[in-house]
């Protein structure tokens, strides 16, 4: 069972470079999420997608864009990387379908460690 997969696992960028983090899930989940994890701050939501074709901003969306390519895939793009975007990035998915009490356990990928020099 692959669950949630992320590529790459590690990446080093120079300031101003762009890159796309890829995420895919094979659980037929409706919702997908991108978080960043910084020391002492826990995980913070960047963007989420409640269904194919929809995306919405989370707590820290500035400097990022997302694409929900299809039900399986949700990518995160850094257009012009900055040192402040050095972090560990997690993708997650859940079966949440939009109603308050829908099943909502989030399953996480293994993370991408990104360093921006």
Partner 1 sequence: AQTVTQSQPEMSVQEAETVTLSCTYDTSESDYYLFWYKQPPSRQMILVIRQEAYKQQNATENRFSVNFQKAAKSFSLKISDSQLGDAAMYFCAYRSVAGGTSYGKLTFGQGTILTVHP
Binding stretches for partner 1 (CB under 8 A): 31, 33, 35, 40-45, 48, 50, 56, 58-59, 88, 90, 92, 94, 96, 98, 100-101, 104-108, 110-111
User: Given the structure tokens 């080093």, which residue do they identify?
Assistant: 12
Shortest Cβ 24–partner 1 spacing (Å): 16
Q: Which is nearer to partner 1, 38 or 79 (CB)?
A: 38
Shortest Cβ 95–partner 1 spacing (Å): 10
Nearest to 4 by CA among 58, 66, 73: 73
Separation between Cα atoms, residue 104 and residue 9, nearest integer Å: 26
Distances (CA, A) of 18 to 32, 49, 79, 81, 107: 22, 22, 5, 6, 27
Q: Which is nearer to partner 1, 58 or 63 (CB)?
A: 58
Q: Which is nearer to partner 1, 35 or 74 (CB)?
A: 35
């Amino acid at each position: 069972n692959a669950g949630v997969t992320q590529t790459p696992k590690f990446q080093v960028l120079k300031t101003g470079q762009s890159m796309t983090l890829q995420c895919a899930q094979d659980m037929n989940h409706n919702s997908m999420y991108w978080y960043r994890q910084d020391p002492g701050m826990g995980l913070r939501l960047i963007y989420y997608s409640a269904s194919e074709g929809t995306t919405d901003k989370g707590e820290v969306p500035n400097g990022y864009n997302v694409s929900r390519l299809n039900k399986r895939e949700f990518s995160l793009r850094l257009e012009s990387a900055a040192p402040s975007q050095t972090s560990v990035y997690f993708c997650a998915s859940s079966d949440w379908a939009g109603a308050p009490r829908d099943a909502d356990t989030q399953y996480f990928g293994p993370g991408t460690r990104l360093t921006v020099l």
